[in-house]
Amino acid sequence: MKSLRTTGRSLILLTLSLAMVMVSSATEGAVITGDDAINFGDVLVGPCGVPGAVGPTGVNDDFTNRSINTGLANVPPGGVTSAAATVVFRNTIQNIGVADDVFQLTAPGVPAGFAVEISTDQGDNYVPLAPQSAGVALPLAYRAAAIVLVRVNAPAGLRILTGFDIVIRASSIATPTAANDTIDRLYTGFIRLEKSVTRINGSGSSLLAAPGAEIEFAISYSNVTSDEGVGNSLLTAHNLVITENGDAAPNTWGQTTTHVIGASDTQGGVIIGDRDGSTSLTDMITRLEPSQSGVFKFKRRIK
């Protein structure tokens, strides 16, 4: 039988045009073992605790998603990261063959400009995996499993809100044709924010800005990360905070408009500042899963 269990969390901070705080969540689970017939040299490598995780097409594209938290501040949509970043991934390797074995750990797929290192001793020592080294040998007894740390060093100048795949492979030395891949995917931020402004009158039709006309601000937000498959380690935003201040540059609407009570959020976020005389509003979203999105709206009336 196969079993899965998911727990865990990690912290990610992203500032992108609007002030916000977010936390990422990792999925973790128990080691998977199969009852079906297996071959000498068989191996699984996958997210921490789930070597048998399944990706969009099978056990060779399961994944662990993580995000950088540096080089993102004040970068506009479509921009690139302003600093290099280092992120450590945790993967589990399991010997599901019929005897003790040694597995060669390699990184056959690494984006240009990235450097990858691996530790088989819980981070006490790291060995280059790519592009400097051909691999690291890891002995594993029959049915044993081990956690390895993969340290990814990403360069500056990467397009934001993009996932970069690092392929980690475990190959049996006893049976070189027995191998399994997993993906350590590094995102350059994972919450997209887009702001739009619509001028409306009482009937909702378009109208040029004039005293008494209402302006509706809409801040769309979305988690751009992937979630296909079973047992993969995901990125979930917790306690996402979006703040719009009409007195903070480049905004000027704090002094030129008055607040119209009735702000809303499609994900049920808690909104602060939805009151007469307000010039600043804050929306707090408790949780935003991969591929989820929402819209935070509020109106102002031109003086």
Using only C-alpha atoms, the chain has a radius of gyration, in whole angstroms, of 24
Asked if residue 294 is part of any domain, the answer here is yes
pLDDT at residue 20 in the model: 30
Do residues 177 and 201 both lie within one domain?
Answer: no
Domain harbouring 169, CATH code: 2.60.40.2310
Domain harbouring 248, CATH code: 2.60.40
**Confidence band of 39 (pLDDT split at 50, 70, 90):** low
| 119-172 confidence digits (pLDDT tens) | 999 999 999 997 667 799 999 999 999 999 999 999 999 999 999 999 999 999
| 248-275 confidence digits (pLDDT tens) | 999 999 999 999 999 999 999 999 999 9
Asked if residue 111 is part of any domain, the answer here is yes
- pLDDT over threshold 50, residue 5: no
Bridge partners of 20, per DSSP, are none
Do residues 94 and 55 both lie within one domain?
Answer: yes
Do residues 56 and 77 both lie within one domain?
Answer: yes
Judging by beta carbons within 10 Å of its beta carbon (0-12, 13-18, 19+), is residue 112 exposed, middle or buried?
exposed
pLDDT at residue 188 in the model: 97
Do residues 126 and 174 both lie within one domain?
Answer: yes
Which of 142, 168, 187 lies at the terminal end of a domain, its last residue?
Answer: 187
**Confidence band of 40 (pLDDT split at 50, 70, 90):** low
Do residues 97 and 176 both lie within one domain?
Answer: yes
pLDDT at residue 164 in the model: 98
Do residues 178 and 120 both lie within one domain?
Answer: yes
Do residues 182 and 228 both lie within one domain?
Answer: no
Asked if residue 169 is part of any domain, the answer here is yes
Do residues 59 and 85 both lie within one domain?
Answer: yes
Which of 130, 156, 187 lies at the terminal end of a domain, its last residue?
Answer: 187
Task: Give 152 or 22, the one with higher predicted confidence.
Answer: 152
- pLDDT over threshold 80, residue 207: no
- pLDDT over threshold 60, residue 107: yes
Which of 137, 170, 187 lies at the terminal end of a domain, its last residue?
Answer: 187
**Confidence band of 6 (pLDDT split at 50, 70, 90):** very low
- pLDDT over threshold 50, residue 17: no
- pLDDT over threshold 90, residue 14: no
Distance CA 161, CA 223 (A): 9
- Give the position of tokens 């008494």: 212
Asked if residue 152 is part of any domain, the answer here is yes
State pTM to two decimals: 0.83
**Confidence band of 208 (pLDDT split at 50, 70, 90):** low
Asked if residue 13 is part of any domain, the answer here is no
Task: Give 102 or 1, the one with higher predicted confidence.
Answer: 102
User: Domain total for the chain?
Assistant: 2
pLDDT at residue 133 in the model: 75
- pLDDT over threshold 50, residue 241: yes
Q: From residue 8, how far is each of 45, 150, 276 by CA, in Å?
A: 19, 18, 41
- pLDDT over threshold 70, residue 27: no
- pLDDT over threshold 60, residue 87: yes
Asked if residue 24 is part of any domain, the answer here is no
Do residues 214 and 161 both lie within one domain?
Answer: no
- pLDDT over threshold 90, residue 205: no
Do residues 223 and 176 both lie within one domain?
Answer: no
Do residues 48 and 140 both lie within one domain?
Answer: yes
Judging by beta carbons within 10 Å of its beta carbon (0-12, 13-18, 19+), is residue 33 exposed, middle or buried?
middle
Do residues 128 and 217 both lie within one domain?
Answer: no
Q: Looking at 159-260, list the stretches that DSSP marks H as alpha helix, in order from N- to C-terminal side.
A: 253-256
Asked if residue 279 is part of any domain, the answer here is yes
**Confidence band of 202 (pLDDT split at 50, 70, 90):** low
Domain that holds residue 253: 191-302
What ranges make up the beta strands (E) of 131-255? Answer: 136-140, 145-154, 163-172, 179-187, 191-200, 214-223, 237-245
**Arithmetic mean of pLDDT, 280-303:** 97
